[in-house]
Structure 1
Amino acid sequence: MKRLPLTLACLLASPGAWAQSPPISTTQPRVQFTLTQDLVRRVQQGGQDVEQIVPNVKTVVPGDLLREQISVKNVGGETLRRVFVGSPVPRGTEFVGEVTANTSRWRVEYSIDDGRTYNAAPRRTVTVSENGQTVTREVIAPVSTYTHVRWTVGELGPGKTLKFAFRVRVK
């Protein structure tokens, strides 16, 4: 079976989020990001099917399920408002969902156009044949077409850490 090297995705934070907080030295970091990629395995334990997380796996094979987990910590002394935390879906994988969602503290959105636009339910235009006529309409894009995931956090207090995760399958 072919083994694929595991590559880390890049994280994005909105500079605009930093601009909305009181000014501080631009040489001091205000947000610290950590990305981990863990293998998700289904195993039998006590007669039940449970998930086992294998941390920091070095190689994967097609069909493997991975958890992309992003930790974001406010290392500055001020509360940050409207912080964007995002990640592309890693190359060689397909988004399968199971996103960390908490609508009261943050909003999650997806992109199907390499991060140019985001929406909670991205739509794409399709052309179909109905009753012998060609019809163009917008439909909700399948999750397998998502290229990026982004969370918008209302506020992140000093010293606070949040964790976000989504899952992908290796192609």
Structure 2
Amino acid sequence: MNVSLTAPLILTLVGASLAAAAPGTPPKPTLTVQRVVTVAVEGKSAERLEAVATTRPGDLLQASSVFSLSGKEKGARFTVPVPANTTFVPGSVRASAGVRVTYALNPAGPFSATPLKTITVQENGKAVTKEVPAPQNEYRAVRYDLTGLSGTVTVGHRIRVN
């Protein structure tokens, strides 16, 4: 079953960048969403990125943004929600040196390097509520803090279509 997620995904990502814009934030980024395909090259597996018009469950997508920064931006953040019907791929964030990355279990936050979730467990026959680190595949937003950086800055991560 083919699902056209690309347009909503791009609109979600671009909308996120504009919604996060405030005085001193970076200029609008160049946004690229591509499908990650594994191919054989000289008998070895390699990844190739290709344009994507429609998606299917199981597809791996890479979202990347490029910023041109002056270094004078203050509070410059770029928040990218993980769209519905997709899952953040643990360990997939790639960012230029100096970019601080935080995550959230809800697109509105709160953001932290390791978001916590509340669980209830049984201890000595009693229900006990605890906060524990959430698995990365439960992240629903990624925030890139670009404050103080200058030049070309690249950020990105991968998501899998459910």
TM-score tier, shorter chain, comes to 0.7 to 0.9
Unaligned runs of 5+ in 1: 19-29
Is the 1:94–1:168 contact (alpha carbons within 8 Å) kept by the matching residues of 2? yes
1:79 Cα shift? 2.6
Structure 2: runs of 5 or more not aligned: none
TM-score (norm 1): 0.80
Superposed displacement of residue 85, structure 1:
1.3
Deviations 1:55-96, CA, capped at 9 Å, x for gaps = 3x100100010001112224xx77323310121112221111
Contact 2:71 2:147 in 1 (8 A): no
Higher helix share: 2
Largest Rg, 1 or 2: 1
Aligned to 1:144: 137
Which residue in the other structure is 1:70 paired with?
A: 65
Cα-Cα RMSD:
2.0
* Equivalent residue, structure 2, for 1:112: 105
Aligned to 1:34: 30
Which residue matches 2:157? Answer: 166
Letter aligned with residue 59 of structure 1: T
Q: Give the superposition deviation at 1:44.
A: 1.3
Q: Offset at 1:16?
A: 4.9
Q: How far off is 1:169 after superposition?
A: 0.3
Higher strand share goes to which structure? 1
Distance 1:137 1:67 in 2: 34
The alignment-based identity, stated in percent, is: 31
Q: Contact 1:11–1:33 (CA<8 Å) still a contact in 2?
A: no
* Partner SS state of residue 24, structure 2: helix
Aligned equivalents of 1:36, 1:65: Cα separation in 2: 14
Q: 1:130 to 1:139 in 2, by over 3 A?
A: same
